[in-house]
Structure 1
């Protein structure tokens, strides 16, 4: 008798249903993952709110190898029972981006143009199990994974991918190091990950900004090691950064806020001359009030950042495995599979109150 998997399928905007799927027969270069825990991120919420095709969401996936072909076992260096954290990307492995190490930019990983990616692939793409909100997930031959030690608590393991973005943007792209002043606009999952990564990289001063609605997350930022927080609803951001830094301002500023163009403009203003501004959040609107002269006058480096690399995910694996930071305090809600709908609503601010890291554990 074939094995089966229950999965939460997003069948319509803001609606999921539990469906049952048969586990596929695997080829020698593929496998099956038994999902342990999945983190819910903003991308999941955006698909959930504006669904185009039924799919299994969830791409911050941690699990154990359930079945694996011999070729895949050798390629990935894993065996049945091994614990792994998955990357969402399923790259081709042959294009210029892949060969250059930027497989996150491979066209085959972009679902907007027909690519496949974990948590963003319709169930019409065989064998359907391409999302983490499921008891089992298909391991495509081109999947990317990292081994994870068994001692890491599941809710901390689920932070690996968000943390990898933090290391990619702060350390690898931003070059943060000892003595640096870093301002992080937005205390969400990505902002907190950047704060942790910046402190781990040796930044002297880490400042996290937010609004009245983010007060609890600002408190959490301080618990996680941020040196200062600024409530921009009641404090003057530019004046406050000048006070904290003695007028030096910030070596690096990153905007990871969920909306609006004002944080981008203020990021240019709090960056020091010859500083760096990273843009890590989509705005989906034009910048009509942006004075480009500030970039010229300060000779700023401005760069868009997106996703993570193999190296930064491995940095995150090492970070969560060290046990040096109280990462479990970032988990606010952990749901069973049948409550995936509520998990997505909560992560999007429409469910239970005060969401931080929201997770789904399919075997609860």
Structure 2
């Protein structure tokens, strides 16, 4: 529900390339629902592609995005209001710092009922369908009754808390790779998710951790986070380097995180026979590859990775113990009123992770 007599500032998506800073009604908590004062919300690469009109969001007769809607799924905040039964049901109190997982499960479909809620058939994600849940690029937001809610330690730095969602996705993706101690692991793409995957993969202690990206500054961060070999494919032969590390065979695990078709075809070349290829990216266009590589030539194990199921408590624990850090990943913060500037920065290579922070004034 929304309080029409009280308003707040929010960024509202009306369509591709049509996002506006507006005053909108404040949310009101119903049974088992929570109203949160947003502390920060990251801009995801998927948000940028949605803004740009990527077909996966806007294509077909039933587009995934249902505007007008407040975007943003990398949020966290402080409990402002609890609906009837919400405190007991979610285990939270007024003033707690909390995060909800990015999916709002229906709790009725076969996937939700079997514990595979992240693949919910209805599949409502915060920030894409207003009739279910607006996102976090706003002063306040509503966590619906079926939200998966987690408490955040009060002492956790804001920048660390702001990466819990992408870190949870990184953990799930790395886990899908089933990394073993003698594996050579390649992570393609050193954006926010790739850099977090690098930190998580390092904790698995593979034989060799390789990161590929076109931006030297990001490769330097990857080395800081534990990558032993970094490759810029703009001037280096990634396939030759990886084969030189593996006796000519190719890597054991390839994690595709570039969101570009070349990241897929590159991986099919440099992975060994019987290797594990993990696909995480959101693509702005279709990708074409020679599928005979997957079956006839290499018998690859192709695994998708979606969201961060059951990984939020792990992410919070890793951050609390200092085993993963936001330092170097979170690079910019903006007020809601500075949305246009923030989006330009998020799309550029001058940033890694950009945060929207209600009331923030440093960049004004």
Query: Common fold, TM-score beyond 0.5?
Result: yes
SS at 2:296's partner residue?
helix
Counterpart-to-counterpart distance in 2, 1:191 and 1:81: 33
Which residue does 1:113 correspond to in 2?
none
Cα RMSD, aligned residues only = 2.1
Q: Deviations over 1:106-154 (max 9, x none)?
A: 1322xxxxxx4211124xx38xx61111110012111122111122211
Check whether the contact 1:36–1:363 (CA below 8 A) recurs between aligned residues: no
Q: Deviations over 1:71-91 (max 9, x none)?
A: 221111111111112211111
Check whether the contact 1:186–1:208 (CA below 8 A) recurs between aligned residues: yes
1:147 to 142, 145, 151: 151
**C-alpha displacement at 1:14, in angstroms?**
2.6
Counterpart-to-counterpart distance in 2, 1:293 and 1:344: 38
2:115 to 101, 110, 116: 101
Which residue does 1:46 correspond to in 2?
49
Count residues in correspondence: 345
SS at 1:85's partner residue?
strand
1:17–1:299 Cα change, 3 Å? closer
Which residue does 2:79 correspond to in 1?
65
1:321 aligns with 2:301: no
Which residue does 2:224 correspond to in 1?
223
1:183 aligns with 2:186: yes
Counterpart-to-counterpart distance in 2, 1:80 and 1:294: 52
Counterpart-to-counterpart distance in 1, 2:264 and 2:97: 39
Counterpart-to-counterpart distance in 2, 1:286 and 1:18: 34
Check whether the contact 2:70–2:127 (CA below 8 A) recurs between aligned residues: yes
Which residue does 1:239 correspond to in 2?
240
1:280 aligns with 2:283: no
1:134 to 131, 138, 156: 138
What is the 5 A alignment of 1:287-306?
287=288, 290=290, 292-293=292-293, 295-306=295-306
Which residue does 1:332 correspond to in 2?
331
2:210 to 203, 207, 210: 207
1:20–1:233 Cα change, 3 Å? same
Which residue does 2:358 correspond to in 1?
362
Q: Which runs of 5 or more structure 2 residues have no equivalent in the other structure? A: 59-64
2:8 to 1, 5, 15: 5
2:164 to 150, 160, 164: 160
Which residue does 1:256 correspond to in 2?
257
Check whether the contact 1:166–1:194 (CA below 8 A) recurs between aligned residues: yes
Q: Which runs of 5 or more structure 1 residues have no equivalent in the other structure? A: 110-115
Counterpart-to-counterpart distance in 2, 1:249 and 1:25: 54
- Report which stretch shifted further, 64-73 or 75-84: 64-73
Which residue does 2:61 correspond to in 1?
none
**C-alpha displacement at 1:243, in angstroms?**
2.2
